[in-house]
């Protein structure tokens, strides 16, 4: 006869012992439940730690924005070059001879002879290009901290861009410009803070 309890009687001693076995499935469920609780606790601690780190980083960035950024703007305003120091022909010659190219660029002239030839070619090309139809200069003052300058050369239909910041004029890039694009840019510039000056 099956029963959920088994009773074992010890004769001679006068004692009776009753044992009730535990269910194996219940033990496994208990163990799995403990593991899941540990995982949940671990993930919760990771989330809290990540939130604290993120908060610290955001606070540090906020402090940088509050203190460092205004100082950088003031420094840029103090060291912003004036338009009197911008020589369009000189800057065009520097671009033509590859002065702005990095040292590892394949078109960068190397050696005294190559550099001299590049200077001569750049001078001739600049004088011819600007002598045929002149050039147009547009200036954009960026809150007094920097100056964006564009030089349009109609004879080659190219526009070159420089950024004047921290006492230097830095060449940014050059792009091909059609007369239609130039006319539209001039129309927009007439109603903005940009100024166009045609020179020969």
Q: What is the pLDDT of residues 145-164, one digit of tens each?
A: 999 999 999 988 899 999 99
Backbone angles phi, psi at 107, to 5 degrees: -90, 0
* Residue 79 CB partners (closer than 8 Å, separation 6+): 165, 166, 167
* pLDDT of 72 above 80: yes
Q: Is 18 helix (H, G, I), strand (E, B) or coil?
A: strand
Closest C-alpha to 139, from 77, 75, 85:
85
- The predicted model gives 132-145 an average pLDDT of 90
Phi then psi dihedrals of residue 178, to 5 deg: -90, 155
Token couple for 54: 């993120």
Q: Specify the length of the chain in residues.
A: 200
User: Which one is predicted more confidently, 102 or 195?
Assistant: 102
Looking at the DSSP bridge assignments, the partners of residue 196 are: 138
Where would I find the H helices in the chain?
24-63, 69-79, 88-96, 111-133, 179-190
Beta bridge partners of 151: 137, 160
The whole-model pTM stands at 0.60
Question: pLDDT of 24-69, one tens digit each?
Answer: 555 555 555 777 788 888 888 899 988 999 999 998 888 888 888 8
């Amino acid at each position: 006869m099956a029963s959920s309890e088994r009773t074992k009687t010890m004769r001679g001693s006068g004692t009776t012992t009753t044992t009730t076995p535990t269910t194996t499935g219940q033990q496994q469920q208990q163990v799995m439940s403990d593991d899941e609780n540990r995982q949940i606790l671990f993930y919760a601690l990771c989330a809290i730690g990540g939130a604290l780190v993120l908060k610290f980083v955001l606070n540090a960035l906020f402090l940088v924005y509050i203190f460092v950024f205004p100082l950088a703007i003031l420094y840029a305003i103090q060291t912003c070059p004036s338009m009197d120091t911008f020589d369009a022909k000189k800057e065009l010659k520097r671009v033509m001879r590859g002065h702005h190219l990095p040292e590892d660029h394949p078109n960068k002239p190397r050696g005294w002879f190559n550099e001299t030839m590049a200077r001569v070619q750049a001078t001739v090309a600049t004088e011819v290009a600007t002598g045929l139809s002149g050039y147009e200069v547009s200036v954009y003052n960026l809150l007094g901290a920097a100056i964006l300058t564009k030089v349009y050369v109609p004879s080659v239909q190219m526009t070159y861009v420089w950024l004047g910041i921290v006492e230097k004029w830095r060449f940014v890039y050059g792009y091909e410009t059609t007369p239609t694009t130039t006319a539209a840019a001039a129309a927009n510039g007439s109603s903005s803070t940009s100024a166009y000056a045609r020179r020969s």
